[in-house]
């Protein structure tokens, strides 16, 4: 519960999330265990976890049903958030194709054509716009599709796809699975926890291999496939003498335009006239990750930095879009000069200024926001600015395509070197460490303990979201400094290829890149024929969002061992907990685990990776060969 930052520059009385958490104590134990239900007006009902009080709700629902319904609702909300993000990108692509979105362009025609060919479209004789329209409309249809199956499921290994079919959990359409999840949790509908969990898998798969994947793919088409680039992270990326704009949330649609507007000479001139050296943009949360990956815009911080960013006194305007935005921001900003601007009709906050973003007027609105920030710079009027810490260098921008290029080269891009190094034992396994901050845990400490322990034990770590920002701040995304944390085997590979031991793959929707990369590793051969055969594990050490539950469930349903820290939302349903932590592995090949101690969490992941290596017959120590220059060149 530590706030590692200095007290706010403007007011000693200001309450931040840590103080509000303290005021919430003691938090409801029934809620923490997932055994309260308010799904109908005969409730709210709660189950006594000690077995002495009521064991059934008024309708007869037991602890497993109640926890399963609550869990499924979390998956549905998480999947809807990611997928609605994907829908917005599809709509933008369509508007760009119809020339209704001035300011945007299709930056990656190569990815558009590649995607079109995968979809079975014939790009020949079509203009880029005509092709983009077809791809955008295809994506839109994936949301409303009523029958059949989502297209991207076929990117999974055949064995996995067949398993999903056999289990009857193939998602039909994205919206349909979210709606059915909500329907099943209505009072008196699905009251069998296995059945509810099947829908949790189907709904979560419609996120990971559906809505999130659509968001990632189409953002790459519109804004370009990320390429590795150098940037910085920390409070120091804000500058005392520039107009500072923070973009925060998840969608890159408006922030891309803010980046364009901030480079326009007349706006820079205006900023200078106000006494600023220039216009500076920095990001928080996943909007930050999106524009970091494609423009190298620096990271101010992650989820738990959104309030402390304002308390630096250096933020002239914070533009927020959707998800993970605290309602407290306008109240905190009121103690400073910062202007909080909401930009999505889906995410309004009392006390914030609202500037409605539309694709048709995006650049115009972006300029308006930059102008407001410039005006507001004048309101600082010599008030104290406190920028703690140091700027830390990082390299980000690792899409699944660029990882293949880096490993295999532009002309034979391939995951073969990765597979060979896993088989040879230089790389023990691969871990996805993702997810939020949670103020119940010391800021970033869960992420950093897990990641450092993994790389020390030769596990290559793939990251997204706020977890990646935590590692960036600790220097783990620096290809030189990051090596200090590595075991010898991982270090040799990272040195040879020139990558950090922790690869930043992007925002929360970009967890879909991890799925695609894992499928490519299976396809490359030598490590089994399903995702569940791989020596890989997933973790969200400091999760807080319902989106994390959806991500966890689609990882588990894709065959991945997945550990969450902080708390786990079904612990009051004993049978359900046993099912998710143990039995489900027999069906899906993946399973959940809960471990609040990050060191032990890493231990569980390493034990799983070793178990997988043994099953694959690659657990025997091989003779260690140090790479000479010729071998490095070959790699």
Any contact of residue 37 with ligand SF4 (CB under 6 A)?
yes
Sequence-ordered list of residues with C-beta below 8 angstroms from that of 7, at least 6 positions apart, any chain:
none
d(CA 577, CA 572): 8
Binding map of ligand MSK across residues 462-481, x = CB under 6 A, - = no contact: ---xx---------------
- At residue 104, the 3 state secondary structure works out as coil
d(CA 625, CA 272): 58
What is the footprint of ligand MSK within residues 496-525 (CB under 6 A)? Answer: 507-508
Angstrom distances, CA of residue 621 to CA of 47, 87, 460, 618, 625: 51, 48, 18, 8, 12
Any contact of residue 324 with ligand MSK (CB under 6 A)?
yes
From ligand SF4, ligand MSK, none, interface partner of 37 (C-beta below 5 to 8 A by class): ligand SF4
Sequence-ordered list of residues with C-beta below 8 angstroms from that of 390, at least 6 positions apart, any chain:
234, 236
Sequence-ordered list of residues with C-beta below 8 angstroms from that of 327, at least 6 positions apart, any chain:
349, 350
Task: Supply 317's token pair.
Answer: 């305007």
Find the binder of ligand SF4 among 3, 30, 40, 442 (CB under 6 A).
40
Respond yes or no on whether the N-terminal peptide bond of residue 44 is cis (omega within 30° of 0).
yes
Any contact of residue 246 with ligand MSK (CB under 6 A)?
no
**CB atoms inside a 10 Å sphere around CB 603:** 16
Angstrom distances, CA of residue 590 to CA of 45, 224, 250, 294, 558: 32, 33, 28, 33, 7
Q: Report in angstroms how near the CB of residue 580 gets to ligand SF4 at its nearest.
A: 20
From ligand MSK, ligand SF4, none, interface partner of 262 (C-beta below 5 to 8 A by class): none
Find the binder of ligand MSK among 303, 554, 555, 594 (CB under 6 A).
303
Any contact of residue 285 with ligand MSK (CB under 6 A)?
yes
Asked if 446 and 413 count as a contact pair (C-beta separation under 8 A), the reply is no
Q: Which is nearer to ligand SF4, 49 or 589 (CB)?
A: 49
Find the binder of ligand SF4 among 17, 33, 35, 61 (CB under 6 A).
61
d(CA 222, CA 109): 9
Any contact of residue 74 with ligand MSK (CB under 6 A)?
no
DSSP state of 181: H
Q: Report in angstroms how near the CB of residue 508 gets to ligand MSK at its nearest.
A: 4
Q: Which is nearer to ligand MSK, 302 or 399 (CB)?
A: 302
Any contact of residue 331 with ligand SF4 (CB under 6 A)?
no
Any contact of residue 312 with ligand MSK (CB under 6 A)?
no
Respond yes or no on whether the N-terminal peptide bond of residue 97 is cis (omega within 30° of 0).
no
Q: Report in angstroms how near the CB of residue 70 gets to ligand SF4 at its nearest.
A: 10
Q: Which is nearer to ligand MSK, 198 or 545 (CB)?
A: 545
Asked if 243 and 377 count as a contact pair (C-beta separation under 8 A), the reply is yes
Find the binder of ligand MSK among 547, 591, 608, 613 (CB under 6 A).
547
From ligand SF4, ligand MSK, none, interface partner of 235 (C-beta below 5 to 8 A by class): none
From ligand SF4, ligand MSK, none, interface partner of 42 (C-beta below 5 to 8 A by class): ligand SF4
d(CA 100, CA 488): 54
DSSP 112-138: HHHHHHHTT---TT--HHHHHHHHHHH
Q: Which is nearer to ligand SF4, 39 or 287 (CB)?
A: 39
Any contact of residue 57 with ligand SF4 (CB under 6 A)?
yes
**Number of residues lying near ligand MSK (CB under 6 A):** 14
d(CA 257, CA 359): 10
What is the footprint of ligand SF4 within residues 160-189 (CB under 6 A)? Answer: 187
Asked if 233 and 390 count as a contact pair (C-beta separation under 8 A), the reply is no
Any contact of residue 63 with ligand SF4 (CB under 6 A)?
no
Q: Report in angstroms how near the CB of residue 465 gets to ligand MSK at its nearest.
A: 3
From ligand MSK, ligand SF4, none, interface partner of 43 (C-beta below 5 to 8 A by class): ligand SF4
Strands lying side by side in the sheet with 353-354: 353-354, 339-342, 317-320, 243-249, 279-284, 299-301, 229-233, 392-396
Find the binder of ligand SF4 among 3, 15, 21, 59 (CB under 6 A).
59
Any contact of residue 301 with ligand MSK (CB under 6 A)?
no
Any contact of residue 436 with ligand MSK (CB under 6 A)?
yes
From ligand MSK, ligand SF4, none, interface partner of 303 (C-beta below 5 to 8 A by class): ligand MSK
**Interacting residue ranges for ligand SF4, rule: CB under 6 A:** 37-40, 42-45, 57-59, 61, 66, 187
**Interacting residue ranges for ligand MSK, rule: CB under 6 A:** 250, 285-286, 302-303, 324, 435-436, 465-466, 507-508, 545, 547
């Amino acid at each position: 519960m530590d706030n590692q930052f200095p007290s706010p520059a403007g007011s000693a009385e200001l309450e931040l999330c840590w103080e509000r958490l303290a005021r919430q104590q003691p938090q409801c134990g029934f809620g923490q265990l997932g055994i309260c239900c308010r799904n109908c007006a005969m409730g709210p009902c709660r189950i006594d976890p000690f077995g002495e009080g009521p064991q059934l709700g008024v309708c007869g629902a037991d602890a497993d049903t109640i926890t399963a319904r609550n869990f499924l609702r979390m998956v549905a909300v998480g999947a809807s958030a990611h997928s609605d993000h994907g829908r917005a990108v599809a709509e933008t692509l369509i508007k760009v194709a119809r020339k209704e979105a001035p300011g945007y362009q299709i930056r990656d025609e190569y990815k558009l054509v590649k995607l079109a060919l995968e979809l079975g479209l014939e790009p020949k004789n079509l203009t880029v716009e005509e092709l983009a329209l077809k791809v955008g409309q295809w994506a839109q249809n994936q949301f409303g599709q009523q029958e059949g199956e989502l297209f991207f499921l076929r990117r999974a290994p055949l064995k996995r796809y067949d398993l999903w079919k056999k289990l009857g959990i193939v998602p039909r359409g994205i919206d349909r699975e979210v709606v059915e999840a909500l329907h099943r949790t209505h009072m008196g509908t699905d009251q069998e926890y296995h059945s509810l969990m099947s829908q949790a898998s189907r709904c979560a798969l419609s996120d990971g291999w559906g809505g999130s994947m659509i968001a990632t793919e189409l953002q790459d088409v519109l804004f370009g496939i990320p390429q590795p680039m150098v940037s910085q992270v920390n409070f120091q990326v804000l500058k005392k003498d520039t107009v500072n704009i923070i973009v925060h949330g998840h969608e890159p649609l408006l922030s891309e335009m803010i980046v364009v507007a901030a480079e326009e000479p007349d706006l820079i001139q205006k900023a200078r006239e106000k006494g600023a050296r220039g216009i500076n943009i920095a990001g928080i949360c996943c909007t930050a990750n999106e524009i970091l990956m494609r423009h190298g815009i620096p990271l101010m911080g992650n989820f738990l930095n959104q309030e402390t960013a304002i308390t630096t006194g250096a933020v002239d305007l914070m533009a927020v879009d959707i998800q993970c935005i605290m309602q407290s921001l306008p109240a905190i900003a009121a103690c400073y000069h910062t202007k909080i601007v909401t930009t999505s009709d889906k995410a309004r906050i009392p006390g914030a200024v609202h500037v409605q973003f539309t694709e048709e007027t995006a650049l115009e609105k972006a300029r308006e926001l930059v102008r407001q920030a410039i005006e507001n710079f004048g309101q600082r009027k010599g008030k104290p600015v406190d920028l703690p810490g140091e700027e830390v260098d990082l390299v980000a921008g690792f899409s699944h395509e660029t990882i293949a290029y880096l490993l295999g080269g532009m002309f034979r891009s391939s995951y073969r070197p990765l597979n060979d190094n896993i088989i040879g034992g230089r790389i023990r396994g691969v871990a996805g460490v993702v997810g939020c901050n949670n103020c119940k845990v010391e800021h970033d400490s869960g992420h950093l303990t897990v990641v450092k322990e993994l790389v020390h034990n030769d596990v290559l770590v793939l990251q997204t979201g706020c977890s990646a920002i935590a590692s960036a701040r600790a220097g783990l995304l620096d290809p030189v400094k990051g090596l200090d944390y590595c075991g010898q085997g991982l270090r040799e590979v990272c040195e040879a290829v020139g990558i950090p031991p922790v690869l930043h793959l992007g925002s929360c929707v970009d967890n879909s890149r991890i799925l695609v990369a894992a499928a490519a590793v299976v396809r490359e051969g030598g490590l089994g024929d399903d995702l569940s055969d791989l020596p890989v594990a997933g973790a969200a050490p400091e999760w807080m969002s319902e989106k994390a539950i959806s991500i966890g469930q689609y990882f588990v349903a894709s065959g991945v061992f997945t550990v969450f820290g902080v708390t786990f939302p079904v612990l009051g349903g004993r049978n359900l907990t046993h099912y998710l932590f143990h039995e489900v592995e027999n069906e899906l090949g993946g399973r959940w685990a809960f471990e609040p101690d990050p060191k032990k969490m890493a231990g569980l992941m390493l034990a799983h990776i070793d178990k997988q290596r043994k099953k694959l017959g690659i657990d025997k120590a091989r003779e260690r060969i140090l790479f000479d220059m010729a071998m490095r060149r070959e790699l």
